[in-house]
Amino acid sequence: MEDLLFLAHRIPYPPDKGDKIRSWHLLRHLAARYRVHLGCFVDDPQDHEHEPVLRALCESCHFAPLNPRMAKLGSLRGLLTGEALTFAWFRDSRLTRWVKETHVARPIAAQVVFSSSMAPFAEAVEGFRGRRIVDFIDLDSDKWRQYAESAGQPMRWIYRRESRLLARAELAIAARSSASLFVSEAEANLFRRRPGVAAEHVHALGNGVDLDYFNGNRAYPDPYPPGGPVLVFTGMMDYRANVDAVRWFADQVFPAVRARHADVRFAIVGARPDERVRKLGEGAGVIITGRVADVRPYVAHAAVAVAPLRIARGIQNKVLEAMAMARPVVASAEAFEGIDAEPGADLLVAGSGGEGFAELVCRLLENPGEAAGLGARGRRLLSGRYTWERRLAPLVGIVEGA
């Protein structure tokens, strides 16, 4: 069994948000085949209690504490040095030292780098001749470009700068790596089209979903107070794309739904709701939960799961999880991108306007038979195509260069 370095910008456990879900399953898949040495950041103090799970799984671990407020201040150095703020945010001399010492102490055969922000730590090892696999997940540079389109000054300038510098860095990181991974063919193809990219070294490695865990056939206690049907949105609620999505839905979609269904409610389920999200809770019918111990009851007892994202990259785990729970889903085109499903059969995909989104939601509320059938077909689709075992089957071959 060979030694493998795995670097992640956030502790891979518990798998309670998008990037941690993916990194956890990649790590667990690799740990069954390699002696894994894990280096990662911990940006939530509560996550330190989960370190024993990872120590039991891995040969060695280094957990680098990261204070988001201090990291944000530190990232501003990038404005002076000319580097992307992302790399200035994730800078830690102790983690760099641990990576170097691990390579001295162990014959590391391969490095698996989860997110481009961790590449500088892997590249700090001089003379490394093994394979380096970088999981970009999605194109961060394009995400910042999308942010810039809707931002005012001076943030528009900062976001455009970050997009430009990250795009340049992504090309350089890929050129110094054996293989580049992306979460969908759409993301992989977007990168392959960039000048200078070795397309044969770019691979799509899609996300799966834990169908045993996300099982709508189980009985869950109803977490909602008595009232009308619930439309549910799940996600980390300090994440810009999620904040934009729920604010747009509350403003452009939800009033039209309530005009036809006065008792309908909109539940925003997720940790760290920022001030703009909390303010939505002042509106009639809007529920803000904050962090919950288990998201499944909130999805199971919702009439419809909505994913009205306007800024999106990669695959939306919230959509896959709702489909796995056999809940009918109405998604924006952006949230649907990268999911191998048939609109109208496995889920509903709305156009760009709020009126069309509201119409699809009302249609499901008024036709429970159609809603139930949509949910059941979505679950069957995932059972055939979206297990983690199937999705990660090519990973070891990519790591070993097969």
CB 335 within 8 A of CB 311: no
CA distance 102 to 121: 12
Residue 384: its pLDDT value, please?
Answer: 83
Q: Element (H or E) spanning 163, and its range?
A: helix 155-175
Residue 164: its pLDDT value, please?
Answer: 96
Determine how β-strand 3-8 pairs with β-strand 35-42.
Answer: parallel
pLDDT digits over 217-248, tens only? Answer: 899 999 999 999 999 999 999 988 999 999 99
Nearest Cα neighbor of 271 from 252, 288, 249 is 288
Rg (alpha carbons) of the chain, rounded to whole number: 21
Residue 402: its pLDDT value, please?
Answer: 62
pLDDT digits over 3-52, tens only? Answer: 999 999 999 999 988 889 999 999 999 999 999 999 999 999 999 999 99
The mean of the pLDDT values for the chain is 94
Share of residues in the chain with pLDDT > 70 (%): 100
Q: Out of 87-96, 250-259, 308-317, 327-336, pick the least confident.
A: 308-317
The Cα-based distances of 132 to 6, 137, 138, 175, 233 in angstroms read 10, 15, 18, 11, 37
243 alpha-carbon distance from chain centroid: 14
